[in-house]
Structure 1
Amino acid sequence: MSRTVKLFRCSPEQIFKVLSDGWSYASWVVGASRIRDVDSTWPAKDSQIHHSVGSWPILLNDTTTVAAIDAPHSLTLRARAWPFGEAEVVIECEPEGPGVTRVTMVEHPEGGPAKLLPPPLTDPVLHARNSEALRRLAYLAERGGHATSRSSAE
């Protein structure tokens, strides 16, 4: 089980604005290369994002499903990327003060080859990937959910 934590300079509601936009998934999830479809009920429980993993010419089509949601506090996803496997990913948002949110991402392999490997082998890889995912998510959330909304001062 990999646990990654990052402080965001925004509210939990701003983070959930990005998480609630299933079409933004490939912008912040490391490994997701494109979104093929998003259920109209996203991010309701059992709704899905249909995504692809990899790059051309080898793209694997799969899904991510909402297992539980308590917006704007937590989102639990069941992410699939077969033949690599699947994982439960929990994203928790806890206010730390005015305009600051502690975001914790916990990933646990649930099936496939990754589940067979011992945590000392998988955790460093998952932590590195999830650190980058949280960096990307912060970039979107802190700028109002749009990667193109950077101010001219930056």
Structure 2
Amino acid sequence: MKDLARNKKALHDFSILETFEAGIVLKGSEVKSLRMGRANLKDSFVRIIKGEMFLLGAHISYLESTNAHFRPDEKAPRKLLMHKKQIDKLFGSVSKDGLTIVALALYLNEKNKVKAKIALAKGKNIHDKRETLKKKDADREARAAMSNFSKGKI
């Protein structure tokens, strides 16, 4: 599994409840630019429209070698492929519980197909974000202290 693009901001802004894997409909030039790492998922989210899932706000740059007549829109909505039962489950969670569906990553699976890792998430408050940062700093300091102790520096 090779990561092509990650959404680091989603882990900061949301608490992840459940993750899913979805296929994504792309054009050939978009796949090439994804392989070159020219994608940004920072402000992307997933919306369910008429029983179909779409990735909105994702930016996939086109390559300079792409023909001018066939250049896709960089911020176009891209269809996500999932089973109908999974889409209905997500739609129920979003509409009933007020949750959000965010894109966490785009990656290549074992068969070299581009997949999207999406998550059912709940938004964090400001104090929750601060608590997460404090916990991350404490864990980092603890790991550093343990490695220094094991090396015999202390």
TM-score normalised by structure 2 residue count: 0.26
Structure (1 or 2) with the larger CA radius of gyration: 2
Q: Which has the higher strand share?
A: 1
Q: Which has the higher helix share?
A: 2
TM-score normalised by structure 1 residue count: 0.26
